[in-house]
Structure 1
Amino acid sequence: MVFSVAVAGASGYAGGELLRLLAGHPEFEVRTVTAHSNAGQRLINVQPSLRSLAHLTLVDTTPENLSGHDVVFVALPHGKSGELTTHLPAETLVVDCGADHRLENSDDWAAFYGGDYFGAWTYGVPELPTQHGKQRKRLVGARRIAAPGCNASTVALALAPGIHAGVIDAQDLVAVLAVGPSGAGKSLKLPNLAAEILGSANPYAVGGTHRHIPEIVQSLRWAGSTTDATISFTPVIVPMSRGILATATARLVPGTSAAAVREAWESAYADEPFVHLLPEGHFPRTADVLGANTALIGLAVDEAAGRVVTITAIDNLVKGTAGAAIQSANIALGLTETLGLTMNGVAP
């Protein structure tokens, strides 16, 4: 069976990455692409790399244009997808790549985003360890899925196995991320201009203000933290168009051996197609996951500091956004989870 697909927000970076992956998916057929200011243009004029979809023309982002499809992927700024998706049929599989349906707590939404709260959907990180098994169990048969924030899923995947196994403390977590500016979207913003980022590393959302913090805390709560995690989270824009390299550390639970730490991560991800724990002493680069739906994790125990150190690399537009969305849709529809996705990066 071939599923008909619409992509809302197809002119942006996330929308373009969705389309790149969907173009190679054997069970999905993209029939409708929508935009706002670019409506009326041929898709190929806005996304010139998508040669196989040159026959498509962008139309207005309306419920009427999105209805009638089996699957709708929504890649819109926060506050926009919630308004739209309330009008889509209940039987349609809707996957939101924006933030509107990620958070369970309306107070968290008010504190970090503001505006109308649209409720939580099934969270689209299949590999996330939870107290009731992997998150993928909840995705089976789902018709409303919230794809993750790229920074949030990277840190959660990095730390959740340790929380789940009880080998690290959920208090005093620290994460510093080197991120590419494509995660901020395609709109023109001064801090993301080439003249501002080339030859420089620029921190932003410092001091507990980043919107992905409550999403990380939520994931770690699901993983088994008995009290809400506390995390110092600092992203730094670096001059690479895409990618995240996250260094996340946590206090080691006293008496826990390095072998027990490694066993926690090995047990969590041993059978996962897209999340790989690297051998001891090996650590990933963002170049290793470029274009892939893969998260690579390096792990070490700093005995002197009493901390576990994780280094995690993902492509923010693939595993961080579009790849996670398609992977989750595959599960929801009963398809092979890896369909249309690759674990192989592009190198050099």
Structure 2
Amino acid sequence: MPLSVAVAGASGYAGGELLRLLAGHPEFSIGTLTAHSNAGQSLVSVQPHLRSLAGHVLVPTDAHNLAGHDVVFLALPHGASAAIAAELDGDTLVIDCGADHRLESSADWAAFYSGDHAGTWAYGVPELPLAPGIDPLHLGATKQRERIVGTRRIAAPGCNASTVALSIAPGIAAGVIQPTDIVSVLAVGPSGAGRALKQNLLAGEILGSANPYGIGGVHRHIPEILQSLRWAGAVDPTISFTPVLVPMSRGILATSTAVLTPGVTAAEVRAAWELAYAGEPFVQLLPAGEFPRTADVLGANTALLGLAIDEAAGRVVVIAAVDNLAKGTAGAAIQSANIALGFEETLGLPLDGVAP
């Protein structure tokens, strides 16, 4: 019998993407869908592309309405998930797509967010390499996947954070790049900022323009990236991180560079990424000389990486493309839920994108 699933925040972009993917999942049956200001409306009045779910009506977001389901996805603003999650049964699998449970450090939470630190859940990036002896749960894990198995609380990643971490962590774990002086510049679609009306996200503001934001070390995904790099074995990593809004509705193209470790060969560099992602269905390293586009991953739970070495600068260059709503958020959440529940990891998740 399929497991019953509730989605809180079903009227938002992340909630809508969760439902698009969940609607085709053979082991899940979609139950209660909640919203805040849109409560009382039919789902298709706010998510008109979800025709298979036309019979659903949005109800208010509270723990009472979410209770009684096998799985609950929380697609809520930062700071809104923790209180509701605390009221849900411990046997319920809860996946938080917000930031409330991603960070281990309460000091990092205080510096980049507000309110009380809610604690740390298993991080929903299964492919993330873990250095020997670094696994915080002391499970002997070599990939984050092993920390997700059997858990009932999962923190889905920040889309920018997981994209950069997947780009850089293999080189850190293998020791072929230096953990300091990492630079990442990202072209990102505005859907990553959510569906709320904001002036800087209006079409008149972003069409025909590229707009940097979160400049100078203040972006909230920075501590999440550094945490992942420390798990991969970095000691005191540093990163200069600059996202740039570009006029595409969804997608991330991240260009990350890091200093080569002296004496490391080009073959050793490429082998580090090949070994890290060998056999991974959703994170794929492209052949030498090939680099991804955001169009190649549209709608897919796929991260594509291209790798080059800038010999003159002594740096490794990694280009990563993901769909921020799919692999960046909702797809990662469902992939992690599959692992936690003992299902095939790829179940219900598209590997292929949509073109043109």
Q: Is TM > 0.5 for Structure 1 vs Structure 2?
A: yes
Alpha-carbon distance in structure 2 between the residues aligned to 1:205 and 1:214: 13
Distance 1:107 1:114 in 2: 11
Q: Which residue of 1 aligns with 2:135?
A: none
Q: Deviations over 1:259-305 (max 9, x none)?
A: 00000000000110000000000000000000000000000011100
3-state SS of paired residue (1:134): coil
Unaligned runs of 5+ in 1: none
Tell me how far 1:108 sits from its aligned partner. Answer: 0.1
- Asked if residue 91 in structure 1 is aligned to residue 112 in structure 2, the reply is no
Instruction: Report the alpha carbon displacement of residue 228 of structure 1 after superposing the two structures with TM.
Output: 2.2
- SS of 2:24's partner is coil
Specify which of 234, 245, 248 is matched with residue 253 of structure 2: 245
- Under a length normalisation based on structure 2, what TM-score does the superposition of the two structures give? 0.97
Give the equivalent residue in structure 2 for 1:146. 155
| SS of structure 2 residue aligned to 1:273 | coil
Q: Number of paired residues?
A: 347
Equivalent-residue separation in structure 2 for 1:81 and 1:284 (angstroms): 34
User: SS at 2:169's partner residue?
Assistant: helix
Residue 343 of structure 1: SS of its match in structure 2? Answer: coil
2:227 is aligned with 1:218: yes
Secondary structure of the equivalent of 1:133?
coil
Q: Which runs of 5+ in 2 are unaligned?
A: 132-140
Determine if the alignment matches structure 1 residue 324 to structure 2 residue 332.
yes
Partner of 1:118: 118
Amino acid at match of 1:57: V
Residue 164 (structure 2) pairs with residue 155 (structure 1): yes
Aligned: 1:21 with 2:30:
no
How far, CA to CA, are the matches of 1:336 and 1:54 in structure 2? 28
State yes or no: 1:169 paired with 2:152. no
Question: 1:133 maps to which residue?
Answer: 142
Displacement after TM superposition at 1:116 (Å): 1.5
Q: 2:353 is matched with which residue?
A: 345
Per-residue CA distance 1:127-174 (angstroms, 9 max, x = gap): 000023010001100100000000000000000000000000000000
Measure, in 2, the Cα distance between the counterparts of 1:346 and 1:86.
38
Identity among equivalent positions (%) equals 74
Q: Distance in 2 between the 1:188 and 1:60 partners?
A: 20
Q: TM-score, normalised on structure 1?
A: 0.99
Match of residue 188, structure 2, among 168, 179, 185: 179
Match of 1:276 in 2: 284
Q: Output one character per residue of 1:89-132: Cα deviation in whole Å (capped at 9) or x when no partner.
A: 00000000000000000000000002111001000000000023
Q: CA separation in 2, counterparts of 1:193 and 1:20?
A: 25
Moved over 3 A (4+): none
**Inter-partner Cα distance in structure 1 for 2:103 and 2:81:** 14
Residue 32 of structure 1: aligned partner: 32
What secondary structure, in the 3-state scheme, does the structure 2 residue paired with 1:73 have? Answer: strand
TM-superposition CA deviations, 1:285-335 (whole Å, max 9, x none) = 000000000000000011100000000000000000000000000000000
